[in-house]
Amino acid sequence: MPTTFQAMVVTETAPGQFQRAIVTRNLSDLPPGEVLLRVRYSSLNYKDALSASGNRGVTRCYPHTPGIDAAGEVLESGSPDFSPGEAVIVSCYDLGMNTPGGFAQYIRVPAKWIMPLPAGLALRESMIYGTAGFTAAQSVDRLERHPVLPEQGKILVTGATGGVGSMAVAMLSLSGFSVAAATGKPEQEQFLRDLGAQDIVSRENSIDRSGRMLLKEKWAGVIDTVGGEMLATAIKSTRYGGAVTCCGNAASPDLPLNVYPFILRGVSLIGIDSAECPMAVRLPIWEKIATTWRLPNLERLTTEISLKELDRHIECILQGKQRGRVVLNLDA
Ligand SMILES: NC(=O)c1ccc[n+]([C@@H]2O[C@H](COP(=O)([O-])OP(=O)(O)OC[C@H]3O[C@@H](n4cnc5c(N)ncnc54)[C@H](OP(=O)(O)O)[C@@H]3O)[C@@H](O)[C@H]2O)c1
């Protein structure tokens, strides 16, 4: 086993100034933990970009290696649950936040953060889904269990070309829903239609600033990834008895809204968290990703990169310009 490896390290060079570099690290730099993993693939999520740019809400201490997702093989295990050679996924919990993460060829983590690679999924494929795919799958699952049914009408997905959004469009479509995709990237209309979107809604037309408390009922359900005025507009436009999932704040953490959609239309707002999602919930969702929501068009929404190319993709996702999913190949 080599004693050194490559990792992205983010360093605070002056107060509030952060620099990213690919550096050689020693295995002895990793924190104590039960299981040492050789990471083969990771992925880029919005939260990684925040960690990689010094956001203290995500990462308190620097120098730091981001990467909330990792897939690879067990090298050493102090846990009876995992054996050397086993293919596994670590996604969320504290990985990449305040624990050195998957933008590195090795990680060491507690066994309770690890899950076996679901049967039928390859390591690379699992990281194309990653946290974004898992969050999209959780959101679709919660709508279905509400229940919101395909015959009740269209589902709106906001931030539709992003990681969570694009996965949600594709999974909803596989589940038989008619999908309206709200996007700020009109040039990506064909990309969204290829994933299964039937309608494309511009970002401007997804935000109502009239001040009206309720709007015309349009959506049977909504998967929101952006928050702010767009989420408020979507909730006000949800049909009687419908449901709206909320997982992100790509536009804003605010929610300028009154209670009328809830008390006059019985609309439900469902919070989605992937970071601390317990294994008992996590495993069945991944099982569905590997079966029901295994996307036939996965490569269409995937960009594969090496560690050296990561920096520019971090800038891209911070500017809201990312399309689909970026998978990081740690052997490239
Ligand atoms: N709750 C959880 O556990 C959880 C898990 C994963 C992600 N998240 C959150 O979900 C959000 C999306 O994550 P992601 O990884 O999919 O990020 P992403 O790939 O960057 O996607 C976000 C998308 O939102 C849209 N957008 C960006 N800025 C916007 C703005 N100012 N106004 C309106 N739309 C905007 C863009 O899509 P269009 O150009 O198509 O509009 C962008 O591609 C983030 O806030 C992330 O932190 C939460």
46 C-beta closer than 6 A to ligand 1: yes
Hey, whose CA ends up nearest to atom 19 of ligand 1? 162
Query: Distance between CA atoms of 223 and 217, rounded to whole angstroms?
Result: 16
Higher pLDDT, 92 or 108: 108
CB 219 within 8 A of CB 239: yes
Report CA(313)–ligand 1 centroid distance (Å): 14
- What atom in ligand 1 is closest to the CA of residue 46? 15
248 C-beta closer than 6 A to ligand 1: yes
End-to-end CA distance of the chain: 19
Output the pLDDT for position 291.
97
CB 198 within 8 A of CB 178: yes
Q: What structural domains and CATH numbers belong to the chain? A: 4-117+298-329 (3.90.180.10), 132-271 (3.40.50.720)
- Given a cut of 90, whether residue 297 has pLDDT beyond it is no
Orientation angle between helical segments 163-174 and 123-145, nearest 10 degrees: 70
Report CA(246)–ligand 1 centroid distance (Å): 11
301 C-beta closer than 6 A to ligand 1: no
Report CA(183)–ligand 1 centroid distance (Å): 11
Q: What is the pLDDT of residues 161-173, one digit of tens each?
A: 999 999 999 999 9
Q: Band of the pLDDT at 101, cuts 50, 70, 90? A: very high
Query: Distances in Å between the alpha carbon of 194 and those of 140, 170, 186, 240, 280?
Result: 19, 9, 14, 30, 33
150 C-beta closer than 6 A to ligand 1: no
Q: What is the pLDDT of residues 27-63, one digit of tens each?
A: 999 999 999 999 999 999 999 999 999 999 999 999 9
Query: Distance between CA atoms of 48 and 101, rounded to whole angstroms?
Result: 9
- Given a cut of 90, whether residue 178 has pLDDT beyond it is yes
Q: How many helices (H) and strands (E) does the chain have?
A: 8, 15
- Given a cut of 90, whether residue 2 has pLDDT beyond it is no
Q: How many C-beta atoms surround the C-beta of residue 325 within 10 A?
A: 24
Output the pLDDT for position 332.
95
* 245-264 average pLDDT score: 97
- Given a cut of 90, whether residue 267 has pLDDT beyond it is yes
Q: Where are the beta strands (DSSP E) in 117-263?
A: 155-157, 179-183, 197-202, 219-224, 238-246
Query: Distance between CA atoms of 173 and 234, rounded to whole angstroms?
Result: 19
Pocket test for ligand 1, best of 46, 245, 246, 326 (most atoms within 8 A of CB): 46
Q: Band of the pLDDT at 17, cuts 50, 70, 90? A: very high
- What atom in ligand 1 is closest to the CA of residue 131? 6
Report CA(136)–ligand 1 centroid distance (Å): 11
114 C-beta closer than 6 A to ligand 1: no
pTM of this prediction exceeds 0.75: yes
HSE at residue 17, side-chain half, CA atoms within 13 A, is: 3
* 256-271 average pLDDT score: 98
- What atom in ligand 1 is closest to the CA of residue 163? 16
The residue written with tokens 């709206």 in the block is 244
* 221-228 average pLDDT score: 98
Hey, whose CA ends up nearest to atom 32 of ligand 1? 251
- Given a cut of 90, whether residue 1 has pLDDT beyond it is no
Residue type, 59: T
- Given a cut of 90, whether residue 92 has pLDDT beyond it is no
Q: What is the pLDDT of residues 127-170, one digit of tens each?
A: 999 999 999 999 999 999 999 999 999 999 999 999 999 999 99
Pocket test for ligand 1, best of 185, 247, 313 (most atoms within 8 A of CB): 247
134 C-beta closer than 6 A to ligand 1: no
Query: Distance between CA atoms of 189 and 197, rounded to whole angstroms?
Result: 9
Query: Distances in Å between the alpha carbon of 46 and those of 50, 68, 130?
Result: 7, 10, 12
- What atom in ligand 1 is closest to the CA of residue 161? 40
